[in-house]
């Protein structure tokens, strides 16, 4: 088993290729860009976490990959094809669960399944499977406001998975949850991810969360936003929060982030 180490480039060919991405919100260029000349390759089925303090552009970068925000310059390619807009193949989970409040948990998941073209019957079956995968089979008929925060976020993950995306983009999905629920959700996510393998790009504020989940951590800095350091974590999952090797990496990351 290898120790955590800094790396230069991922070994596998890129699933997501981000090259030279710059984003400015002011045309006058008075302020430093939100992102300046970011290059990042992400391999297939890799779990990559973007971490940094507010204003480092990590959410903007995620939104650019999602196709929700356009880069000022530079390109993002998925499987070699440039991203031109949001859509299939890229599921997204938001910090606020973003479930449709007028649909039940099941209908929310079916909404995702149908939007990739499944007929109602197949969508129903898919929703059944996903509800059981996230352990909420008994809650399919509940509306989002009848679910706890953790349950809502699990349904949101299931809805994203119902698109059968190859890429799962997660924007601080557990940021609004309490610490205990958050730890449960991290374990839950790993379990789900291991049964439905995806390329994951995960944005977080939490160093511990990044250490527990990621194959690779991208530490970002602000003004201008960009990559400060990368760390690969070759430790098997589930990982222990008490692992000394993670503690060492925690220190290093903290050096970059503070």
Residues at the site binding another protein, with contacts judged by CB under 8 A = 66, 68, 85-88, 90-92, 94, 96, 98-103, 111-112, 115-116, 143-145, 159-160, 163, 169
Cβ closest to another protein, residue 103 vs residue 257: 103
Output the CA–CA distances (angstroms, integers) from residue 62 to 10, 16, 182, 200, in the order listed: 19, 11, 21, 11
Question: To the nearest whole angstrom, how small is the minimum distance from the Cβ of residue 95 to another protein?
Answer: 8
Q: CB–CB of 173/153 below 8 Å?
A: yes
CB of 68 or CB of 222, closer to another protein: 68
Dist. CA 215–CA 195, nearest whole Å: 17
Considering the complex, what minimum distance in angstroms separates the CB of residue 143 from another protein? Answer: 4
Q: Please identify, using beta-carbon distances, which residue of 130 and 253 lies nearer to another protein.
A: 130
Minimum distance from residue 84 beta carbon to another protein (Å): 13
Token duo for residue 124? 């129903």
Please state the closest distance from residue 201 (CB atom) to another protein, in A. Answer: 13
Overall residue count recorded for the chain in this entry: 258
Instruction: Give every CB contact of residue 241 below 8 A, 6+ residues apart in sequence.
Output: 208, 212
- Of the pair 34, 66, the CB lying nearest another protein is at 66
DSSP letters for 113-160: HHHTT--HHHHHHHHHHHHHHTT-GGGTT--GGGS-HHHHHHHHHHHH
Judged by CB, which is closer to another protein: 49, or 63?
A: 63
Q: How far is the CB of 207 from another protein (least distance, A)?
A: 26
């Amino acid at each position: 088993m290898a120790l955590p180490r800094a790396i230069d480039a991922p070994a596998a060919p890129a699933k997501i290729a981000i090259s030279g991405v710059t984003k400015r919100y002011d045309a006058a260029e008075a302020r430093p860009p939100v992102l300046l000349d970011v290059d990042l390759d992400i391999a297939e089925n890799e779990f990559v976490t973007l971490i940094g303090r507010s204003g480092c552009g990590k959410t903007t970068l995620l939104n650019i990959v999602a196709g929700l925000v356009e880069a000022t310059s530079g390109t993002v390619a998925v499987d070699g094809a440039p991203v031109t807009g949001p859509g299939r193949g890229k599921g997204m989970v938001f910090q606020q669960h973003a479930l449709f409040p007028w649909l039940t948990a099941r209908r929310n998941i079916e909404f995702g399944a149908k939007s990739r073209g499944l007929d109602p019957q197949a969508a129903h079956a898919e929703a059944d499977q996903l509800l059981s995968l996230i352990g909420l089979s008994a809650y399919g008929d509940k509306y989002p406001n009848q679910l706890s925060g953790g349950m809502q976020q699990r349904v949101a993950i299931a809805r994203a998975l119902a698109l059968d995306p190859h890429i799962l983009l997660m924007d601080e999905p557990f940021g609004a949850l309490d610490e205990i629920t958050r730890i449960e959700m991290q374990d839950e996510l790993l379990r789900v991810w291991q049964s439905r393998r995806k390329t994951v790009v995960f944005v977080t504020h939490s160093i511990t969360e990044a250490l527990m989940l990621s194959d690779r951590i991208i530490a970002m800095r602000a003004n201008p936003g960009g990559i400060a350091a990368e760390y690969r974590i070759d430790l098997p999952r589930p990982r222990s929060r008490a692992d000394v090797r993670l503690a060492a990496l925690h220190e290093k990351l903290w050096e970059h982030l503070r």
